Amino acid sequence: MGLDVVRVGLAERSYDIHIGTGTLPRIGELCREVSLKGQAAVITNPTVGSLYLQTVQESLQGAGYQVTVITIPDGEEYKCSATLESIYDDLLGAGLHRGAFIVALGGGVVGDIAGYAAATFLRGIPFVQVPTTLLAQVDSSVGGKTGINHPRGKNLIGAFYQPRLVLIDLLTLDTLPRREYLCGLAEALKYGIVLERELFDYISAATDAITAVDKDVLLHVVSACCRIKAAVVERDEREGGLRAVLNYGHTIGHAVETLTEYRRYKHGEAVAIGMAHIARLSRLLGLASGEETDRIVALMKKLGFELNLPAFPLDAFVEAIGHDKKKGDDGVTFIFNRGIGDFAMEKVTDVRGLLAELERDGASREPGE
């Protein structure tokens, strides 16, 4: 079985992403390699902890670290200030000082809040990401966005704070529920559609293996996603421009989540709907051909995504998009696909007009039909 290392080159904040199967027992040794010292605080949740904590804990202890375990409740609703406070309490209670470090063991929720705790505790202590969902492996553990939700919106409080290393064990995907796996696939596909046609073609040719969670194929896919995301983050760490390309499908996706009150869809499912419909818009705007759009939609369907856009009233849809965090004063930035493997970033002032295009084209029918 292969092992890949992807470097995120950010001068003194550079780090490696280690990707392979059965890599979890190496966490202690890898922390030593990057010169982490002192006490380790592993932050996880009961779901992931019951599966993988023992391996991580034993490896860290085997490498000579004293380990404190902090377990937070499972769920997006716990990515909040109350949980953050409880983490600070536990870190202080365990006597952690500035020489210590945090290990985030879990999906994007654990990674985001543990990373933000690391960024802020005693004005910043090092942290390590051990992502266990596909979404966290291809997206959230890489690039240093950390944070929590606020009652007024998701991810409104946070910091850019890079980890010291990321360790990905593809075996953890064997226990991931199928819905969560698909959510990660949506983000993986995103890189192919707007940034690298080779990845799109590779995924297209490997759908059966991907559905079967084949580790050789996933090693290729996850490594490619990390390499592509690293290249974007290296050029635009703090989202001054280019990094916004990673929001492909997310502007419509966020509106879908908002209008269904975060109950009906998981984030990745809403993003998948957003991607399919922004692909349709890209065709309507002449940026992609009908054939390319059909390929995108057909691949998403084959992977098992449900792509119907609920028939929201146009006013509510426009309003929900207008509230997207990425909205500037003079419009909403949309990412379109230019064919497959490239993108166009456009500030749209007439959001109503754009969405009306979708309606005229038959918003309620499935894309590609």
Catalytic residue IDs? 123, 145, 187, 229, 239, 243, 247, 250, 254, 267
- What does the DSSP 8-state code read for residue 326? T
H runs (alpha helix) in the chain:
27-33, 46-48, 54-62, 81-93, 108-120, 134-135, 178-194, 197-205, 207-211, 215-235, 250-259, 267-284, 290-303, 314-322, 351-360
Tell me the window of 131-139, 252-260, 273-281, 358-366 that interacts with ligand NAD (CB under 6 A).
131-139
Give the pairing of strands 145-150 and 127-131.
unpaired
Size of the site for ligand NAD (CB under 6 A): 29
Tell me the window of 139-147, 257-265, 317-325, 332-340 that interacts with ligand NAD (CB under 6 A).
139-147
Tell me the window of 17-25, 68-76, 139-147, 188-196 that interacts with ligand GLY (CB under 6 A).
139-147
**Partner from ligand NAD, ligand GLY, none contacting 59, C-beta within 5 to 8 A by type:** none
Backbone angles phi, psi at 70, to 5 degrees: -120, 120
Residue 327, number of CB atoms within 10 A of its CB:
15
**CA pair distance 33, 346, nearest whole angstrom:** 43
Residue with the CB atom nearest ligand NAD in the bound state: 108
Amino acid at 14: S
**CA pair distance 139, 17, nearest whole angstrom:** 12
154 binds ligand GLY (CB under 6 A): no
Per-residue CA distances from 273 to 113, 144, 173, 201, 270 (Å): 27, 26, 23, 20, 5
Backbone angles phi, psi at 40, to 5 degrees: -110, 130
Tell me the window of 123-131, 138-146, 254-262, 279-287 that interacts with ligand GLY (CB under 6 A).
138-146
Pick one of 143, 249, 253, 268: the residue that binds ligand GLY (CB under 6 A): 143
Q: Residue 121 Cβ, how far from ligand GLY at the closest point, in Å?
A: 22
SS3 313: coil
267 binds ligand GLY (CB under 6 A): no
Pick one of 20, 28, 49, 108: the residue that binds ligand NAD (CB under 6 A): 108
The residue among 175 and 260 lying less far from ligand NAD, judged by its C-beta, is: 175
**CA pair distance 162, 10, nearest whole angstrom:** 9
129 binds ligand NAD (CB under 6 A): no
SS3 222: helix
The residue among 154 and 352 lying less far from ligand NAD, judged by its C-beta, is: 154
Q: Residue 189 Cβ, how far from ligand GLY at the closest point, in Å?
A: 14
Amino acid at 229: K
Pick one of 4, 58, 74, 294: the residue that binds ligand NAD (CB under 6 A): 74
246 binds ligand GLY (CB under 6 A): yes
243 binds ligand GLY (CB under 6 A): yes
Contact positions toward ligand NAD, by CB under 6 A? 45, 47-48, 51, 74, 76, 79, 106-110, 112, 132-133, 135-136, 139-140, 143, 145, 154-155, 172, 175-176, 180, 183, 267
